[in-house]
Structure 1
Amino acid sequence: TGLDSQGRSTVDILSHAPGVQLIALFSPEHGLAGRNDEKISSAKDPATGLPVHSLYGETLRPTDEMLKGIDALVFDVQDAGVRFYTYTTTMAYCIEEAAKRNIAFFVLDRPNPLGGEIVEGPMLDMDKTNFVGYFPLPVRYGLTIGELAQLFNAENHIGADLHVIAMKNWHRNYFFESTGTRWIPPSPNLRTTKGSVLYPGIEILQNAGVSVGRGTETPFEEFGAPWLNGDEVAAALNERHLAGLHFAAKPFIPIVGLYSGQRCGGVAVRITDRYRVRAMSMGMETAIILHRLYPQQFDPEKLLLLIGNSDTIQQLQSGTPAEKIVASWSADLTAFDQIRRKYFLYK
């Protein structure tokens, strides 16, 4: 996903740059091109002949052997702006390994597709850090990947020789469309900017047995299950009058993934005003409705891995109204907002 405005890859640019010897490539969860949806094996890049070291296979971190002879690591990957999207963890692990070996680390900054103003969702509990949650952040953290690298390096006391190459002309109120550049899907299912806006609130449902549209034409723009009545759920969500959103029944049959080949009662999500959308509020409302209507099929406890906050799960299980759950995040979000502002590179 590292391409310039003319569609030329960073790999190609660096391999022809004067004074630069490109000696290895590293691939995150979805591979160099963002097209894989399974574990990645290390391989050789056909264009350059260079080794491609997988950081989503036998290891999640670069090893001594992988880093041999390297003076600098360059990270150029489009992020999703969501805590559990694993590219940020891969970046953080690479920063840590670079710091241990006195290797300089460069981040070529890219837009946060969700903008840089809004933060939402619960904070990750301190005891729940893992590959889908490297550091205590809210689900939507409102930082670019470069700003986030600075936060990780300082707040997690990594101490790497970190250099962020800032963008020109990006502003915090920009969604991706505002940049005028073409959306390159950073992973197979994050195909559209609309899907990226809805992703944080839809993706959390999958571990509880809800298809989030993987295996359809519009992943993260719909959700469903064989046991779900789309008309019933869409009506219940529309009664909540969620800002910037409208819901409609839409059955679907995934061709791969969860419920592959099965007809799912589904709900399509339409964005009417992306600036007003609060995807995590939508996710809470949806989880509450599914738990109320289908208590035997939908267990909020299974949302814990991605939500990463035990108090939020307990509130969902006890039937706490969504607005109260969202309000319970307020103090943590205010404190985080003060921290993140120290690392702003853009206005």
Structure 2
Amino acid sequence: MPLEDDTFITSFLLAAEPPPSQKRKLKQHMCRQTIFKLHIMLCCFAMMAVTGAITSNADDRRSYPWQVELNHWKSVKGSRSPEQLRSYLVRYPDGTFAALARALLQKIEPQEVTVMPHAPSLAKRPVRDAMPGAIESWVTGAERLAQSGFSELTAKRIGLITNHTALLRLDDRDPRVTTHLVDVLHQAKNVNLTAIFVPEHGFRGTVEAGKSVRSKTDDKTGLPIRSLYGKTRKPTRRMLSNIDLLVFDIQDIGVRFYTYISTMGLAMQAAAEAGIPFHVLDRPNPLGGEYVSGFMLEPNERSFVGQFEIPIAHGMTIGELALLIKGEQLLPNLSTLNLTVGQMQGWQRSMRWPPNQPWNPTSPNINTFDAALLYPGTGLFEATAINEGRGTQIPFTVVGAEWISHKAVIPRLNQLGLPGVEFEATKYVPKSIKSMAALPRLMGRRLNGIKIVITDYDKVQPVELGVALLSELRREARRRGGKRLFSKPAWLARMAGTRRLYKQLSQGRSGSQIAASWRDEVAKFNKVRARYLLYK
């Protein structure tokens, strides 16, 4: 069946009842399609008969399971009962109509995550409005540059690597009022902004993870927007032909497998090769500047989700990391790069992002600070057969699968005493959400989930939490008869930076044992990174 026919039928089944004026057209279209398909089927059967393909009853017997599946689907497709649609998915999880069944489930089931009645008391949760440390206590590199009148950019053709996170607070009366750096630069009479370069997720931050970003023209300024997450991930010589200075301003989240730092590194390399200076406008690491944890990247696991030999959580600002990348030659051809950093004012290493401060989503699924804080650990679930919260409004703060036993797993997790968190039982159904997750893992299935509740933001150790959760769920998978936990072992190695994590989990190591195995390499890294730190 042609793709466009599938699309038409799917939209027809999911749509509301059409108005009478359209029913005749729909019926005519369906009749034409049916006649066309019958004609094709008759031709195919005629050809098979001529060639002797239909020679025995064996083929009839082989077609029998398909007829059973078709009859089952016909019996449930018009139902408004989630249970009947799930009965088809349980029997035919990869069936011909599985995607359509999940889409129908999405339409008729609620999206909210349901917290189970026996969840821990909410009294222990932090009150966000009472949290200390407002973001107004520091000034970003971009804000300081604006305060100087952009003197460093005068008489230069500027290429800006940025996205939606490059916001400036320039209103002293109300720090909640923000302006985008592109708008400020475009209006500055002494600045010649010639091109915008954008990373994964695009200029607006709305492109789904892993999807190519297109180059285009900015409607507001008329400037060219050049994609660094499409045909190329490194600026070409042609892209840099009319640029005197490359400026980088993107809010990162301090995690090695978050791709904005890979974009920065490749742009630094391109600038060095073209003889163009590179200027980083520094921003806070939301995880703070003291938390460093996780396996170091091994050279064999290098990829765009892991370009640099650093731990999963590196504890550096984007500017400090740029200095480390150049200073330690973590990419070739950086020795001649003219690199400068526009430093922040007032930021300290002990500062994590204040939970009472509004969070500007850095990407579609890092839509809250809770997600950013937990992502270094729960992000590893992207390589498993377990849903990592995509398809909900709380990604990376919940994980789930149909086979998880709340009664067995939740008490074990809480007994671990992991700092700053508690675990609650939940049930949820991953849905297709535009920009966030078109096809989330286990979409349309009702999952037994584990909700991570943050009780103390300063004490959370997200990488240790993630491996502890993986270890406990690996134990649960074996207890439940060998349920599949790892769907992409090679991808787990890419994200962890090593194959040791998969090996240790397969051996039944606990989360604390796994965390102990990376402490020596993190200690060595801390000695190296100390040379590049800009803040106390």
CA distances 1:87-118 after superposition (whole Å, capped 9, x unpaired):
00000000000000011111110010000011
Cα distance in 2 for residues equivalent to 1:184 and 1:70: 29
2:226 aligns to what SS in structure 1?
Answer: strand
Give, as a single letter, the amino acid of the residue that structure 2 aligns with 1:241: G
- The RMSD of aligned alpha carbons is 1.5
Alpha carbons 1:229, 1:266 under 8 Å: kept: no
Matches within 5 A, 1:297-316: 297-299=484-486, 301=489, 303-316=492-505
Alpha carbons 2:197, 2:227 under 8 Å: kept: yes
What TM-score do the two structures reach when normalised by structure 2? Answer: 0.63
1:151 aligns with 2:324: yes
2:416 aligns to what SS in structure 1?
Answer: coil
Structure 1 or 2: more helix by fraction: 2
What TM-score do the two structures reach when normalised by structure 1? Answer: 0.96
1:276 aligns with 2:464: no
1:3 aligns with 2:167: yes
1:40 aligns with 2:213: yes
Q: Partner residue of 1:171?
A: 348
1:112 aligns with 2:282: no
1:58 aligns with 2:244: no
Cα distance in 2 for residues equivalent to 1:35 and 1:89: 19
Corresponding residue to 2:197 among 26, 41, 46: 26
Cα distance in 2 for residues equivalent to 1:166 and 1:217: 34
**CA drift at 1:330:** 1.1
Alpha carbons 1:231, 1:248 under 8 Å: kept: no
**CA drift at 1:234:** 2.0
Alpha carbons 1:234, 1:249 under 8 Å: kept: yes
Paired-residue identity, %:
40
1:111 aligns to what SS in structure 2?
Answer: coil
Cα distance in 1 for residues equivalent to 2:461 and 2:407: 22
Q: Partner residue of 1:201?
A: 377
Q: Partner residue of 1:333?
A: 522
Corresponding residue to 1:15 among 171, 178, 186: 186
Cα distance in 2 for residues equivalent to 1:77 and 1:206: 24
1:99 aligns to what SS in structure 2?
Answer: helix
Alpha carbons 1:224, 1:230 under 8 Å: kept: no
**CA drift at 1:20:** 1.8
Alpha carbons 2:302, 2:494 under 8 Å: kept: no
CA distances 1:244-293 after superposition (whole Å, capped 9, x unpaired):
11001111111122222221111100011122211111111111111111
Cα distance in 2 for residues equivalent to 1:8 and 1:286: 40
Q: Partner residue of 2:276?
A: 103
Q: Which runs of 5+ in 2 are unaligned?
A: 1-164, 170-176, 433-439
2:514 aligns to what SS in structure 1?
Answer: helix
**CA drift at 1:231:** 4.1
Q: Partner residue of 1:212?
A: 388
Q: Which runs of 5+ in 1 are unaligned?
A: none
1:116 aligns to what SS in structure 2?
Answer: coil
Corresponding residue to 1:236 among 374, 390, 412: 412
The number of residue pairs the alignment matches comes to: 346
Q: Choose 72-81 or 306-315, whichever is displaced more.
A: 306-315
CA distances 1:173-201 after superposition (whole Å, capped 9, x unpaired):
111118x8642111011111111111111
Alpha carbons 1:121, 1:329 under 8 Å: kept: yes
Q: Partner residue of 1:89?
A: 262
CA distances 1:111-167 after superposition (whole Å, capped 9, x unpaired):
100000110111111221110011111000000000001100111161211111001
